[in-house]
Amino acid sequence: MTGGYPVGPMRLSCLFAPTLREDPADAEIPSHRLLLRAGFIRPVMAGVYTTLPLGLRTMRKIERIVREEMDASGAQEIRMPIVLPADPWKATGRYELYGDVMFKLTDRHDRELVLGPTQEEVAAPLIAGDLPSYRDLPINVYQVEWKYRDEFRPRFGLLRGREFLMKDAYSFDRDEEGMRESYRIMYEAYERVFERCGLDFVVVEADPGQIGGGVNHEFMARASVGEDLFVECENGDYLADTEAARPMAPEPAGEGTEPMVEVDTPDTPTIEALAAFLGVEPSRTLKCVMFDVAGRSTAVLVPGDREVSVNKLEKLVFPAKVRVFEDGDFEARGFVKGYVGPQGFGEDVLVVADHLVRGGRDWITGSNARDRHVRGANVGRDFRVDRWEDVVEFREGDRCPVDGGSLRIGRSIVVGHIYQLGTNYSAPLGARFVDEDGTEKPYVMGSYGIGISRIMAAAVEQRHDDLGIVWSKALAPFEVVVLVANQDDERVCAEGERIYRELGQMGVDVLIDDRELTAGVKFADADLIGYPVQVVVGRRGIEQGSVDLKLRATGERSSAALVDATRAVVDLLASAP
Amino acid sequence: MTGGYPVGPMRLSCLFAPTLREDPADAEIPSHRLLLRAGFIRPVMAGVYTTLPLGLRTMRKIERIVREEMDASGAQEIRMPIVLPADPWKATGRYELYGDVMFKLTDRHDRELVLGPTQEEVAAPLIAGDLPSYRDLPINVYQVEWKYRDEFRPRFGLLRGREFLMKDAYSFDRDEEGMRESYRIMYEAYERVFERCGLDFVVVEADPGQIGGGVNHEFMARASVGEDLFVECENGDYLADTEAARPMAPEPAGEGTEPMVEVDTPDTPTIEALAAFLGVEPSRTLKCVMFDVAGRSTAVLVPGDREVSVNKLEKLVFPAKVRVFEDGDFEARGFVKGYVGPQGFGEDVLVVADHLVRGGRDWITGSNARDRHVRGANVGRDFRVDRWEDVVEFREGDRCPVDGGSLRIGRSIVVGHIYQLGTNYSAPLGARFVDEDGTEKPYVMGSYGIGISRIMAAAVEQRHDDLGIVWSKALAPFEVVVLVANQDDERVCAEGERIYRELGQMGVDVLIDDRELTAGVKFADADLIGYPVQVVVGRRGIEQGSVDLKLRATGERSSAALVDATRAVVDLLASAP
């Protein structure tokens, strides 16, 4: 018997919310597995999903939080197309830069098109086309729209999809100062967004990536399955990008005590071979890595158990180009590969030492002759350092630069990323305004992204247990489920309907599970879907004049008098996270 | 001086709503021209637009009406992807059928993808994948999402774009009866949607298109620029698709009065040549068009001034195939091309006459010999008719089948289209459910589309004048604008702000034009953008203790006491269309 369409999406009996008993085979992480099992999403192909009614409700709640905070920050919502002409992307160089990650197509007239992975190339010409005066600045436009990246290996459900929902905003200012202010406003709006979404997150100033990139911050939701790493102090007072973490400099080790002597070390061109041959820890040796920096030979010194961060070196000497020595460089410039030491370098060699080198003395290092090293080399006495810098690659256990605590790697999911773009896009796109002095200038831009569908997945990663999802009130598809345990009992149904109706009238986002199924199935589904509060209306309770309540987050159960059930639910909901 | 972001999108001074003084060069029709000029949309490339804040507000109001009516009809919102695998489209044959109209691409692994033009190929497998029992039917899922068609010549702004916003719904039933009920519910929901949007529209049962297509209706917004034609009676009691219009049969002309005689008509194989030669109206001649219908010779008779509708003939004899005679057919079957008449046809020839033939007598028609015709041919006496049918192509001025009134062509924009699909999609896609008897059956489907962005354009076509757009309350981006005529006068500003604030508190969707511009510019923009009610706060009025009100729809002006301004605005708004 088909029952027609009972109106109202708040009845589980008429909600398209199919749950799965079994874990889907290819779902590797909890959010992927649970969003499939609880009926929030269904795959269409690799990295591309349909969002079902429950998923859409949660997504809309996230969108709403984002929109409210964007609007409250003076940003204005617009909507940009998804299918875009390729030319602006060629002008900014991103057509090449994205490469295969960008979906590309041609239209019937063989014009090259792309599917937008972000929208700087649309927003900049848009504002430039209509807003020619500095008086109209600043302006910040945003949209909530699907984005496209043709990931080589889409996986992890909504975390690395090929189609994903993003809020992207673009600010336009007349100068750097304005851009920094627009950026600050967005930074604060982002903090509010992720707080309201109930995420446990950190904000990390990210490595600018390509040299010359501007300031940018990542908003990272902690998650053990996250692929985005950051560095944090065990005491919670330091956060950094793994590329940018600066360990605390050690106490200076003081003057050396040994004389510098040469030793025979046959066939030991690597630190490993040397330390093994001499029977010492690698940290006792001094590693001396040679680079060409804008033509000048440059030696970078770090303790033997550490690596030089080429990234840090590049930023130190930017815009000069950095190139690690090749075999030919050693020979041509008179260095012996595998046996370089800093003693006796001429002024033509720039000597950069990491701060960690201050913590050691009586170093073992190269003798500048094949198969020989020196012991007892000391800074100042035996070799000079031109610049003390942070050039070492971060390692777990390094000391925090703030309080000396132990630094560790945190794993996360990046849910927001904001950038100070400067004129990197507006200049090549010719997106200009007329300044007070009458001259045309490129906008100084910022761009600001939030992964809406990613937040949904990140929230599940942070809030789930063996039974299913544990939604926060803010993101739950429904705040409360009224679970009718005995659907065949008229009185039970009537009381369930009453409580459901009263909660709705009080503005609670409530769903009734009125399906013709056993209580056991309903209990399992309620835990799986993860409504913050469950109200169980059953025969035995009714006979005793009570209903059972359960707070999903803690599993805590309580009961309330039937007559007072609605108020008890509202109170319990208020206490829910 | 850049002013930061004054919060709140209801101030025109901080709304990105650039208006244009001049008509854009390539905008051919009012909606295209006005939506550009009033700052609702901006082009990105041919047929692809960015929606600006004002446009987005109107679009959201349309979306909201649509969602409310869909939800109230028991449909459930989901969201399907835009980038889709090509395979299901090949299974249904639409990959070929759409041809170049479909955007096609390949991903980095060379898998064929398409951009969805509608989504039957996603919805059917989705429901089939999770809903195996008849007990869960009917189900109706819908989404509001952008769709893609690579039009050969995109034009008319939002009317024929390559990217457009659509609400598409898909119903799933176990049988035809259920489908018809789901269809009826959607039909009624659609009527409410277009009424609430304030559109002047007609509902026309459309031609099923390809033979074998099911019942379908088009919801057509009247518009003089519309490319979608329909037929209507001057008295408003008949509507039809141009392919399906059935003119009223004329009064029978009665018995013939002339004897049938042959006449020499050299070199007159066409009606035009014949009528000219004999000096008679073409309508006095009887046209006899020969078809092959499933192998049988079939003569179709219509008055000489009318055309045979092959489409109607095909539907009459479906599923038999219809083919118009080629030269070889005439010779092989003993007919003389250009001189065929129905007299003397054997039983092997099927004779179909249009009802219009009843209205004539003493016909001039072919003699079945080259260069000769007959006069005085009469039905019954001289030739037989096997079937009287409606097989004539509609012509303006035909009589209405209901009341005999004159039929005319109406022009419109199709804003909604609903289809009874049957198992046309579910069968090839293998989208099945388990019926009560345990057998697997394909769903009986319906699909239902509303063009959201088209409604915006259609509304402008129906409601505009020389000054700009004339929005209905339901779709206006703001219901009321408070226009501060003298921005340099503190008292004027203060009163404007007060009225703006009070209206906002009363729940009116109000915008204040607080820009540092002349009153003239503000007046022109207000008329162009088309808010239903304008409140003009100016120095002279303030001195007299009054504000001016204007109803955009009628241009009617009135004034209200300053102290009572808010209530007067609310009353005026209530009277606005």
pLDDT digits over A41-71, tens only? 999 999 999 999 999 999 999 999 999 999 9
Q: Percent of chain A scored above 70 by pLDDT?
A: 97
- What does R_g of chain B's alpha carbons equal in angstroms? 31
Judged against a pLDDT cut of 80, whether residue A207 lies above it is answered with: no
Structure confidence at residue B212 (pLDDT): 52
Domains of chain B: 55-80+117-245+409-459 (3.30.930.10), 261-389 (3.90.960.10), 478-575 (3.40.50.800)
Chain B residues close to A119, C-beta within 8 Å:
none
CA distance B107 to chain A (A): 7
Structure confidence by residue, pLDDT tens digits, B199-255: 999 999 887 655 456 899 999 999 999 999 999 999 999 999 998 888 999 999 888
Structure confidence at residue A359 (pLDDT): 94
d(CA B538, CA A432): 36
Model ipTM value: 0.91
Structure confidence at residue B9 (pLDDT): 52
d(CA B390, CA B355): 6
Report the chain A residue with the minimal C-alpha distance to residue B173: A2
Q: Percent of chain A scored above 90 by pLDDT?
A: 90
Is the CB of B137 less than 8 angstroms away from the CB of A2?
yes
Residue in A50, A56, A163 nearest the CB of B83: A163
Structure confidence by residue, pLDDT tens digits, A466-483: 999 999 999 999 999 999
Q: Which helix (H) or strand (E) holds B315?
A: helix B310-317
> What does residue A126 show for φ and ψ, rounded to 5 degrees?
-60, -50
Contact, A226 vs A412, CB < 8 A?
yes
Angle between helices B30-37 and B452-462 (to 10 degrees): 100
Structure confidence at residue B1 (pLDDT): 31
Query: Which of residues A65 and B257 earns the better pLDDT score?
Result: A65
Structure confidence at residue B418 (pLDDT): 96
Confidence of residue A4 (pLDDT cuts 50, 70, 90): low
Structure confidence at residue A25 (pLDDT): 85
Q: What is the rounded average pLDDT of the residues A442-451?
A: 96
CA distance B117 to chain A (A): 13
d(CA A244, CA A391): 10
Structure confidence at residue A26 (pLDDT): 86
Residue in A138, A146, A174 nearest the CB of B82: A146
Alpha helices in A322-477 (DSSP H): 327-333, 426-429, 452-462
DSSP designation for B392: B
Confidence of residue A3 (pLDDT cuts 50, 70, 90): very low
Average pLDDT over chain A reads: 94
Residue in A76, A81, A104 nearest the CB of B53: A76
Alpha helices in B259-309 (DSSP H): 271-278
Judged against a pLDDT cut of 80, whether residue A213 lies above it is answered with: no
Structure tokens at A166: 């993003």
Structure confidence at residue A9 (pLDDT): 52
CA distance B306 to chain A (A): 38
Structure tokens at A314: 């590049």
Structure confidence at residue B213 (pLDDT): 65
Residue in B5, B56, B126 nearest the CB of A42: B126
Antiparallel, parallel or unpaired: β B350-354 and B387-389: parallel
Is the CB of B83 less than 8 angstroms away from the CB of A115?
yes
Q: What is the rounded average pLDDT of the residues A413-421?
A: 96
Burial readout A507-525 (b: 16 or more C-beta within 10 A, e: otherwise): ebbbbbbbbeeebeebbbb
Candidates A35, A51, A76, partner chain B, best to mutate (most B CBs within 10 A): A76
Candidates A7, A14, A16, partner chain B, best to mutate (most B CBs within 10 A): A16
CA distance B148 to chain A (A): 9
Q: What is the rounded average pLDDT of the residues B346-353?
A: 95
Structure confidence by residue, pLDDT tens digits, B369-413: 999 999 999 999 999 999 999 999 999 999 999 999 999 999 999
Report the chain B residue with the minimal C-alpha distance to residue A140: B5
Q: Which of A454, A468, A321 is nearest to A23 (CA)?
A: A468
d(CA B537, CA A56): 44
CA distance A408 to chain B (A): 37
Strands (E), B452-577: 464-465, 468-469, 480-484, 510-513, 533-537, 546-551, 557-561
Q: How far is residue B34 from each of residues A550, B27, B532, B534, measured CA to CA in Å?
A: 56, 9, 16, 19
Average pLDDT over chain B reads: 94
Interface of B with A in 181-240 (CB under 8 A): 181-182, 185
| Dihedral sign, Cα of residue A128, residue A134, residue A136, residue A142 | positive
Confidence of residue B331 (pLDDT cuts 50, 70, 90): very high
Judged against a pLDDT cut of 90, whether residue B5 lies above it is answered with: no
Report the chain A residue with the minimal C-alpha distance to residue B71: A8
Structure confidence by residue, pLDDT tens digits, B429-442: 999 999 999 999 99
Range name among A428-432, B57-61, B245-249 with the lowest pLDDT average:
B245-249
B328 and A CB contact within 8 Å: no
A75 and B CB contact within 8 Å: yes
Chain A residues close to B174, C-beta within 8 Å:
2
Structure confidence at residue B208 (pLDDT): 66
B99 and A CB contact within 8 Å: no
Confidence of residue B2 (pLDDT cuts 50, 70, 90): very low
Confidence of residue B100 (pLDDT cuts 50, 70, 90): very high
Candidates A1, A2, A56, A514, partner chain B, best to mutate (most B CBs within 10 A): A2
Q: How far is CA A346 from the centre of its chain?
A: 45
Range name among A197-201, A241-245, B124-128, B138-142 with the lowest pLDDT average:
A241-245
B437 and A CB contact within 8 Å: no
Judged against a pLDDT cut of 70, whether residue A131 lies above it is answered with: no
